[in-house]
Amino acid sequence: MTAQNLADSDSLTAGMPGRYATALFELALERGEDELERISADLDRLRLLLDESTDLARLVRSPVFRSDEQARAMAAVAAKADFSRLTRNFIQLVIRNRRLFAIRDMIRAFRALRARHRGELTAEVRSATRLTDEQRQALAEKLRSGLGRAVQIEESVDPSLLGGLVVRVGSRMIDSSIRTKLNNLKIAMKEVG
């Protein structure tokens, strides 16, 4: 393992979200690859639900909700989404420990652990709007050919970018957002004038 890979793997498990993600990952892995894939799919669905529902995102982030309220609401979400027993137990544990506010970071860390387990890299991609399946596949292929390894895309939407992408793989970052291009143009115009 190279020094960079070691640093990246340490950053995955550093902090509270990484510890929770590591515990879930190890439990799922002990139960086999099928269970690991099931948990991964559950967490991907949960991340999508959090992205699509402002009410659910508020429930998760706001300290105003009591843990029993969060537990009931998340149990209903988990039942409706047909999450596995391990995923449901994990969510309830997170709620009991008053750590639901960090569930997105836990999911991100879990996905990174899964990618490392598969020998993939994780690329954090921010775009002004949600990428289409075709754009996501083209980007993954471009990154794979440039980096020489399969890449798992961790996508988020940031409307302030206006357009374009910001891609981060490990310590490398590529910023082709319109916002950055406009800022660079503004700086260049100030230097000329």
Which one of 3.40.50, 3.40.30, 3.30.460, 3.30.1330 gives the CATH number of domain 120-192? 3.40.30
Regarding pTM above 0.75, the answer is: no
CATH for 3-114 is: 1.10.520.20
Q: Is 183 exposed, middle or buried (0-12, 13-18, 19+ CB in 10 A)?
A: exposed
Q: Are 176 and 139 in contact (CB under 8 A)?
A: no
Hey, which of 47-51, 87-91, 117-121, 167-171 has the most confident mean pLDDT? Answer: 87-91
Q: Where are the domains of the chain?
A: 3-114, 120-192
Q: Are 161 and 128 in contact (CB under 8 A)?
A: yes
pLDDT in tens, 47-100: 989 988 999 999 999 989 999 999 999 999 999 999 999 999 999 999 999 999
Q: What percent of the chain has pLDDT over 90?
A: 47
Residue with the two structure tokens 């309220």: 69
